[in-house]
Chains A and B, each alone.
Chain A
Amino acid sequence: MTAEPTSTPDITTTIDARGSFCPGPLMELIRGMKEAEVGEVLAVLSTDKGSKTDIPKWVGKAGHNLIGVLTRDGYDEIVVQKVR
């Protein structure tokens, strides 16, 4: 018997940047990524509308893995895996 495949790896760290204005959530993620190990998955919670575009752009530029941008109740959750 094999385990059910999951679409999202387990989140290692959640960064709650709700209420933080642009570019706060992005800066919080960059700080979190520096402290994380390769392979770890970080979730950023943001109420700032700019995060949905700015964070994926940075993730792409930095060569990390964007796992998902999820719309939650009143905020967005952006899930990123550290690749390098």
Chain B
Amino acid sequence: MKRVVVLGGGVGGTLAANLIARKLKREIAAGQAKVTVVDATGSHAYQPGYMYIAMGNEKAEKLVRPEKSLLDGNVELVIDTVTRIDAPGNSVTLGSGATMAFDQLVIALGSRILPGDLPNFEGEAHHFYTPEAAKRLRKALDAFQGGKIVVAIAGIPYKCPPAPLEVAFLVESELRERGLRDKTEITFLSPINRAFTIESVSDMATPIFEEKGIRLELLAGVSEIDPERKVVITDAFEEHPYDLLICVPPHKGAQVVIDSGLAPKSGWVPTDRATLQVKTIAKPAPGTADEDIPRYPNVYALGDTTDLPLSKAGSTAHFEAPVVAERVAAAIKGRAPEGKEANYTGKVMCFFEVGDGKGTLLQFDYNHPPKPPKPSALWHIGKIMFNKTYWRTVPRGRV
């Protein structure tokens, strides 16, 4: 019997497992194949909703469901942590001590936020990357009566690249509605030389900062937080005082992929941009040509796990999963991957809130940068609808 093991029950792992099970329905029924998801919690969280908790229009309990309820009936769920991945040896070790052999492995372990990696972050900075943190930010915003707000980013890459810009825009709108805008100075610290990593999106967003009177500081990644003086110190040694600090925490990939030698210390797994196969060398010697690095033929990564130069977002995992599923199913069936899902083209699609009930859409791939439409109510409503219908659509492969 051929065994497919999927590590992680987030968007990528859940959707990939369901699509694989669908493609292998006959083989599973005949006892020739088995698909197993290993997830540390057994709960599936809709993380894009966390920002809306902070903005006051979402409840944490609506953003989580049992993983089992989202999985195809033919997918086995094991609730356990993963402590070791032996890619060349075709096995994984679980927290319980059990080992699980695989014929095909999908690594979808996501990313971790590490607020503790930046001294004083936990005592001083608010964020919206967990339901608890988002609730605390909501309370802080409710108590805010004017002063200096700094929205900042402590390291790239991080989950949902538009999120800090969206938060800056949404907070600005809220404060205007509450009559506090005149008493508030908002500063956005971008760690790079423009407002957003993708140039066309940056060109769309920069005038919005101007319209909203939000000061945009470039090349201003967070290096230190001084809690005594209440200032953020940037990589370029500039200081920005704050009364309320909202900061994207440092991110890394899963510890187990670092410990297993599949990723450098950043934790992002080197992955083939088209096949999504994991590369066999985590940290190549300087000057090594990419095509000279062998790929594991039966180990795939998707979603936040990879080192691909794409958004760390559910949307990326959503569009990668069909490729992983096609390749895994083809290998089990003993045929070559086929059709438009044989290779990943870098497709990502996500909504971008700009405040005042308006949003836009970012849609792009490796060869086509996004051309965001003029912000309108349509795309804001689109995002809200997508958030509400997520449970019935994305994990089940219906969109």
Note whether A and B form a binding pair: yes
Residues of A within 8 A of B236 (CB): 58, 61-63
Residues of A within 8 A of B191 (CB): 23, 27
Residues of B within 8 A of A61 (CB): 219, 236, 238
Q: Assess whether B219 is in contact with A20, with CB atoms less than 8 Å apart.
A: no
Which residues A1-40 have CB closer than 8 A to chain B? 14, 16, 18-24, 26-27, 30, 34
How many chain A residues touch B (Cβ–Cβ < 8 Å)?
23
The answer to whether the Cβ of B156 comes within 8 Å of any Cβ in the partner chain is yes
Known A-B contacts: A19-B290, A21-B309, A57-B219. Give 13 more (CB < 8 A): A14-B286, A16-B286, A22-B192, A23-B191, A23-B193, A24-B309, A26-B192, A26-B193, A27-B155, A54-B193, A54-B219, A61-B219, A62-B237
Residues of B within 8 A of A84 (CB): 237
Partner of A57, one of B193, B237, B290, B309: B193
Select the residue from B156, B235, B238, B309 with max chain A CB neighbours within 10 A: B235
Kindly state the interface size class of chain B when it binds its partner: 10 to 19
Q: Assess whether A62 is in contact with B192, with CB atoms less than 8 Å apart.
A: no
Which residues A52-76 have CB closer than 8 A to chain B? 53-54, 57-58, 61-63
The answer to whether the Cβ of B221 comes within 8 Å of any Cβ in the partner chain is yes
Q: How far is the CA of A56 from the CA of B286 in the complex (A)?
A: 22
The answer to whether the Cβ of A41 comes within 8 Å of any Cβ in the partner chain is no
Per-residue 0/1 for B237-261: is the Cβ within 8 Å of any A Cβ (1 yes, 0 no)? 1100000000000000000000000
The answer to whether the Cβ of A42 comes within 8 Å of any Cβ in the partner chain is no
Which of B's residues lie within 8 Å of A, judged by CB? 155-156, 191-193, 197, 219, 221, 223, 235-238, 286-287, 290, 309
Q: Assess whether A45 is in contact with B156, with CB atoms less than 8 Å apart.
A: no
Q: Assess whether A58 is in contact with B309, with CB atoms less than 8 Å apart.
A: no
Residues of A within 8 A of B155 (CB): 27
Residues of A within 8 A of B156 (CB): 23, 27
Q: How far is the CA of A54 from the CA of B219 in the complex (A)?
A: 9
Q: How far is the CA of A61 from the CA of B190 in the complex (A)?
A: 14
Q: How far is the CA of A27 from the CA of B286 in the complex (A)?
A: 17
Residues of B within 8 A of A62 (CB): 219, 235-237
Residues of A within 8 A of B223 (CB): 34
Distance to closest chain A CB from B22 (angstroms): 34
Q: How far is the CA of A70 from the CA of B144 in the complex (A)?
A: 50
Residues of B within 8 A of A54 (CB): 192-193, 219
Among all A-B residue pairs, the 10 with the closest Cβ atoms: A16-B286, A21-B309, A62-B236, A23-B192, A61-B236, A54-B193, A58-B219, A30-B235, A61-B219, A27-B156
Distance to closest chain B CB from A80 (angstroms): 13
Q: Assess whether A53 is in contact with B286, with CB atoms less than 8 Å apart.
A: no
Q: Assess whether B309 is in contact with A20, with CB atoms less than 8 Å apart.
A: yes
Residues of B within 8 A of A63 (CB): 236-237
Residues of B within 8 A of A19 (CB): 290
Q: How far is the CA of A14 from the CA of B287 in the complex (A)?
A: 11
Q: List 24 A-B contacts (CB under 8 A).
A: A18-B287, A20-B309, A21-B309, A22-B192, A23-B191, A24-B309, A26-B192, A27-B155, A27-B221, A30-B221, A30-B235, A34-B223, A45-B286, A53-B193, A54-B192, A57-B219, A58-B193, A58-B219, A58-B236, A62-B235, A62-B236, A63-B236, A63-B237, A84-B237
Q: How far is the CA of A21 from the CA of B198 in the complex (A)?
A: 11
Select the residue from A14, A24, A30 with max chain B CB neighbours within 10 A: A30
Chain A residue at minimal CB-CB distance from B237? A62
Q: How far is the CA of A35 from the CA of B223 in the complex (A)?
A: 12
Q: How far is the CA of A70 from the CA of B238 in the complex (A)?
A: 28
Distance to closest chain A CB from B283 (angstroms): 10
Chain A residue at minimal CB-CB distance from B223? A34
Residues of B within 8 A of A16 (CB): 286-287
Residues of A within 8 A of B219 (CB): 54, 57-58, 61-62
Q: How far is the CA of A36 from the CA of B235 in the complex (A)?
A: 14
Q: How far is the CA of A53 from the CA of B223 in the complex (A)?
A: 22
Distance to closest chain A CB from B398 (angstroms): 32
